[in-house]
């Protein structure tokens, strides 16, 4: 399946856009030799794809495989339509075609340009449905994950406690963001040494962010004490995420 997608994508990007555009510019039989036409089709496709990527880079959504393919499909369909309009307005004896004997046509010569146009359009239509469905599903689902983070008291990734007085209250902000595409119930615990303390239980919908200040007190002195915050998903025994703070606890000025 993956190899088929790669082959289809390369055929789309490296041949069909250029072939249809060349057919618009040179619709007559004597305009180009067959090899020249095929070579020019590949060259034009590469140039057009490069320009599409540059253009998409300046759009708010940026560059993605789905946006490049969707743009190439749209351009190719428009070019194929324009090429067909050019061909129907040219006398049949002057139109570009490869001679193909079609048994179903009773031995009559049929323009392979028309055959290729029809097949290209069918391929593009089928491919567009597949790519749009795949892109919409990927955009709707995407990667499922949960963000778990700790901020300083000013709600920034700075100002974390490094040295605190024994028995003094310390405040940090704990944040959880649900990007799991479903409702999730979480539990947050805090560990210091062998002591575990429950911090919060919460339920978040997809895209919902929870941030709350959390104040704690350490009463035992020591250097580089490890404070662990654990995030659990409901029904799971192992932590989904863990965060650490390292602090040094010193005796407070009052000597308590």
Tens digits of pLDDT across the chain (256 residues): 444 555 566 666 677 888 888 888 888 877 777 778 778 888 888 888 888 888 887 876 767 777 777 888 888 888 888 888 888 888 877 777 654 444 444 444 445 555 555 555 555 545 544 554 454 444 445 578 999 999 998 888 888 888 888 888 889 999 999 999 899 999 999 999 889 999 999 999 999 999 999 999 888 888 889 999 999 999 899 999 999 999 998 875 444 4
Tally of CA atoms within 13 A in the half-sphere of 224 that contains its CB: 0
Residue 114: its pLDDT value, please?
52
212: which DSSP letter? E
Q: What is the CATH number of the domain that holds 170?
A: 2.60.40.10
| Residue 117 and residue 14 share a domain | yes
Q: Which of 123, 141, 159 is the last residue of a domain?
A: 141
| Domain count within the chain | 2
- In angstroms, rounded to a whole number, what is the distance separating the alpha carbons of residues 185 and 234? 5
| Residue 193 and residue 114 share a domain | no
Torsion 103-104-108-114 (CA) sign: negative
Structure-block tokens of residue 42:
């590949």
| Residue 48 and residue 34 share a domain | yes
Name the E strands within 132-255. 145-151, 163-165, 169-179, 184-192, 195-204, 209-217, 222-233, 241-250
| Residue 20 and residue 135 share a domain | yes
Structural domain includes residue 256:
no
**What is the domain extent for residue 67?**
2-141
| Residue 12 and residue 100 share a domain | yes
| Residue 124 and residue 13 share a domain | yes
Q: Which of 103, 120, 141 is the last residue of a domain?
A: 141
């Amino acid at each position: 399946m993956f190899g088929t997608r790669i082959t289809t994508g390369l055929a789309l990007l490296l041949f069909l856009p250029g072939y249809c555009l060349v057919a618009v510019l040179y619709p007559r039989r004597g305009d180009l030799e067959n090899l020249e036409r095929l070579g020019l089709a590949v060259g034009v496709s590469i140039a057009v794809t490069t320009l599409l990527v540059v253009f998409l880079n300046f759009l708010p959504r940026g560059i993605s495989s789905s946006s490049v393919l969707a743009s190439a499909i749209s351009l190719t369909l428009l070019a194929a339509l324009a090429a067909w309009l050019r061909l129907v307005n040219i006398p049949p004896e002057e139109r570009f075609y490869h001679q193909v004997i079609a048994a179903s046509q009773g031995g009559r010569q049929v323009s392979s340009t028309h055959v290729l146009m029809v097949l290209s359009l069918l391929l593009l239509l089928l491919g567009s449905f597949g790519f749009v469905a795949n892109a919409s599903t990927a955009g709707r689902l995407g990667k499922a994950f949960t963000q778990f983070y700790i901020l300083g008291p000013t709600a920034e990734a700075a100002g974390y406690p490094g040295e605190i007085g024994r028995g003094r209250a310390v405040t940090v902000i704990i944040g959880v963001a649900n990007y799991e595409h479903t409702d999730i119930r979480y539990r947050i615990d805090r560990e210091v040494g062998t002591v575990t303390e429950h911090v919060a239980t919460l339920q978040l919908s997809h895209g919902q962010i929870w941030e709350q200040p959390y104040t704690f007190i350490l009463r035992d002195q020591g250097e580089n004490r490890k404070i662990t915050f654990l995030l659990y998903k409901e029904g799971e025994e192992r932590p989904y995420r863990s965060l650490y703070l390292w602090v040094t606890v010193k005796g407070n000025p009052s000597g308590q």
